[in-house]
């Protein structure tokens, strides 16, 4: 199964199987895709990992800190 999100004027697939195996690199917990499909959120760490060109950037030092979980528009 493939999830599709919009990126500019084109659709970019993000594989459901990939989402199922990815974990937060900081706490090893679950991550979820944002509504826009442009990031992966770890609610436990309050971090968002960007997705660029259909590639999740899973580097802790590149993640964006959330003030509150709803900031990620989950």
Residue partners of 47: CB distance under 8 A and separation at least 6: 24, 26, 41, 60, 63, 64, 65, 66
- Residue 32 three-state SS: strand
Whether the Cβ atoms of residue 47 and residue 66 lie closer than 8 Å to each other:
yes
Say which residue the tokens 């992966």 belong to: 40
Tokens (6 digits) for 49 = 């990992």
pLDDT of residue 13: 55
Domains defined for the chain, CATH in brackets: 2-72 (2.20.25.10)
Tell whether the model's pLDDT for residue 70 goes beyond 70. no
Report pTM. 0.74
Task: Check whether 51 has a pLDDT greater than 90.
Answer: yes
């Amino acid at each position: 199964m493939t999830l599709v999100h919009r990126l500019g004027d084109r659709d970019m697939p993000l594989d459901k199987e990939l989402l199922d195996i990815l974990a937060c690199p900081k706490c090893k917990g679950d991550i979820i895709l944002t509504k826009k499909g442009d990031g992966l959120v770890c609610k436990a760490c309050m971090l968002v990992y960007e997705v660029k060109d259909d590639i999740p950037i899973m580097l802790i030092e590149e993640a964006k800190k959330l003030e509150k979980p709803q900031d990620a528009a989950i």
